[in-house]
Amino acid sequence: MQHLSPEALERARRTILVSDVFAELADEIVAAVYEVPDAHVLVVVVDGNHKFAGMHHVKTEELAVKVPPLEGDGGWTMVFSTGATPLSVRQRTDKMADLAQQRINAIERINARRSGG
C-alpha cells in the first residue's frame, strides 16, 4: 500500500519552523494591526525559505482570492484582525506548531501501519 506523501510530512515539519518566524514577529504584527482599515485584515507572509515576506492589508471579502497569490509557491500566511495581542499571536503560532506536529504523528502512524510495522 502506498505511503502518505513525503512532501506532506516535510511540509508539516517546515510549518513548525515557520511558526517560530511568525512568533518572533508578534510585536510587529500587533503594531501593524492598528493600521488596518475597516473591513480589512492583516495578512502576514513567510516565504518558502522560512523568511518574513511582508504584511498586507486585505479586504475581508477578498481573502479567498488574495491570500493564495501572497503565499506563492510553498509559503505560509497568517491572518490577524483588530484586537490581536503579542500573547494571542504567540498562542496561535504555538497552536500552528502543535497542529503540524499532530499531522506528523498521524502520517507516521499511518505509514507505519501500511508498512506492517
Assigned domain for 49 exists:
yes
Give pTM, 2 decimals. 0.90
Within-domain flag for 1: no
Is the separation of the CB atoms in 41 and 81 below 8 Å? yes
Domain that holds residue 46: 6-114
Whether the pLDDT of residue 106 is over 60: the answer is: yes
**Contact of 108 with 9, CB cutoff 8 Å:** yes
Q: Taking the CB of residue 56, how many other CB atoms lie within 10 A of it?
A: 18
One-letter amino acid for residue 44 of the chain: V
Task: Tell me if 54 is assigned to some domain.
Answer: yes
CA distance linking residue 111 with residue 32, whole number of Å: 42
pLDDT in tens, 30-67: 999 999 999 999 999 999 999 999 999 999 999 999 99
Q: Is residue 61 part of a domain?
A: yes
Tell me, yes or no, whether 30 lies in a domain: yes
The total domain count for the chain is 1
What are the distances in angstroms from CA 108 to CA 1, 14, 15, 72, 95?
Answer: 14, 16, 16, 27, 20
Q: How many CB atoms lie within 10 A of CB 2?
A: 6
